[in-house]
Amino acid sequence: MSTQPWARLGDQTLDWDPEVAGRAGPPALVTQVGRSFQIRHPDVPVLLDHGRHLVIAMPAEGTAAPEEPDEHLHWRIEPLPMGTVVVDRPRPTPRAADPLTADLVGALSQQSFEQELAFLAGLPTRHSLSAGFRQAADQVSDRLTDLGFAVARPEITVGAGTSLNVVADLPGSRVGDLGVVLVTAHLDSINLAGGPSAPAPGADDNGSGSAGVLELARVLSSHAWHHDLRVILFGGEEEGLHGSRQYVAGLAGTERSRIRAVLNLDMVGSLNTAAPTVLLEGAPLSSGMIDALAAAATTYTDLVVETSLEPFASDHVPFIDAGIPAVLTIEGADSANANIHSEHDVLTTVTPELALRILAMDVAALVGWLESAGALPSGRSQATYGSSDV
């Protein structure tokens, strides 16, 4: 029997034939944070390696399967049906540049981004229960207040302790049918091996996303938008998405129905690919957002865009689980960042030029969501994005 195309991750294709494979189990999909699965299971054969996503050869029937991760959500193992497109590479047609959008893209400042990132990564740790996290929350609260946002700091529970989210609102000018667009990142960091008090600079994870959100807030606050803009810096992400889960659980029905889009930034600063690359990760209900972001990237940047409908382990997931369109923007990860969750996630591992490209894409998409009157389109499947199916 000839081999059958089984799965695709970007430009990588897996051909797998059960008869040739013999007694080996079927391929499985691993979605991991950093290199967490491979660090824990170095002996498991990897058939395709795309950084955040792996295709592994499961053990033969009757032998032990890889152990599941702990509550920190380091990786997920799931079946991989034949013909699955795990990561796609859309090729949207560039659109004519909009003057307002082009001006806002041009207003992004690498210097401003680097200054915010340097402060956050300069704290000994931003563990959710640490004094350093409170210092970071104070800093971002002051920045957002200075930009004209109304800032609240609701408490959250993280295990037996208490942390907080920073929630900042910039009101829109629309009368009636007023929506809200959320821009989010997690503010906390962690050192898994060293424990809560160990150094955890978290430059890429997620100082880069937090500094990016502040830069987006700075640029977007210069214009009066039709819809409300809400910026949220979550606590408790590294311990299990506590900040975002509790935020979504606490939303009243009327407030939940106002949310037009949730854009989450998590790790936007490590250049892991030959060409600057961004992964847009969502779910079928996020397809309109993914399309807009991909078109923005093509029109205003030179980013290579990849898409995935396998949401995992970041603050977009609780929104998606609640039926709210959300997308994670994360650095392309053909070679995942192995420095995260340790003392090695420092400023020198961050490429600000990559982050600024991702922020340019984000600004361009946000303009449309903040200004448009109609509902955002959604509902297409992953297979519609690429030029061909597996």
- DSSP per residue over 273-308, as a string? SSS-EEEEE--GGGHHHHHHHHHHHHHH---EEEEE
Q: In angstroms, rounded to a whole number, what is the distance separating the alpha carbons of residues 106 and 102? A: 6
Could you identify the residue written with the tokens 């903040």? 370
End-to-end CA distance of the chain, in Å? 18
- The values of phi and psi at residue 83, to 5°, are 90, 10
Q: Comparing C-alpha atoms, which of 9, 13, 8, 10 is closest to residue 304?
A: 10
pLDDT of 24: 66
pLDDT of 62: 55
Q: In angstroms, rounded to a whole number, what is the distance separating the alpha carbons of residues 331 and 304? A: 10
Sheet with strand 12-16: strands edge to edge: 12-16, 4-9, 84-87
**How much is the pTM?**
0.93
Contact call for residues 100 and 223 (beta carbons, < 8 A): yes
Q: In angstroms, rounded to a whole number, what is the distance separating the alpha carbons of residues 122 and 183? A: 24
Q: In angstroms, rounded to a whole number, what is the distance separating the alpha carbons of residues 257 and 255? A: 5
- The values of phi and psi at residue 188, to 5°, are -85, 165
Query: What does DSSP say about strands 75-79 and 27-32: parallel, antiparallel, or unpaired?
Result: antiparallel
Contact call for residues 181 and 230 (beta carbons, < 8 A): yes
Note the Cα 152 to chain centre separation in Å. Answer: 23
Q: Comparing C-alpha atoms, which of 265, 120, 251, 304 is closest to residue 185?
A: 265
Q: In angstroms, rounded to a whole number, what is the distance separating the alpha carbons of residues 232 and 253? A: 19
pLDDT of 389: 28
Domain boundaries, the chain: 4-87, 99-371
Angle at 201 between CA 196 and CA 204, to 5 degrees: 120
In a structure prediction context, what are the per-residue pLDDT tens digits for the chain, which is 390 residues long? 445 579 999 999 998 876 665 556 789 999 999 999 999 999 999 999 999 999 999 887 656 678 766 656 689 999 999 999 999 999 998 999 999 999 999 999 999 999 999 999 999 999 999 999 999 999 999 999 999 999 999 999 999 999 999 999 999 998 788 999 999 999 999 999 999 999 999 999 999 999 999 999 999 999 999 999 999 999 999 999 999 999 999 999 999 999 999 999 999 999 999 999 999 999 999 999 999 999 999 999 999 999 999 999 999 999 999 999 999 999 998 678 999 999 999 999 999 999 999 999 999 999 999 998 776 656 433 332 222 222
Reduced to 3 states (helix: H, G, I; strand: E, B; else coil), residue 60 is coil
Query: What does DSSP say about strands 4-9 and 12-16: parallel, antiparallel, or unpaired?
Result: antiparallel
Q: In angstroms, rounded to a whole number, what is the distance separating the alpha carbons of residues 360 and 220? A: 12
pLDDT of 44: 92
pLDDT of 5: 74
pLDDT of 381: 35
Count of helix runs (H) and strand runs (E) in the chain: 11, 17
Residue 174 in tokens: 């629309």
| Fold classification of 99-371 (topology level) | Aminopeptidase (3.40.630)
pLDDT of 261: 98
Contact call for residues 262 and 232 (beta carbons, < 8 A): no
Query: What does DSSP say about strands 277-281 and 326-331: parallel, antiparallel, or unpaired?
Result: antiparallel
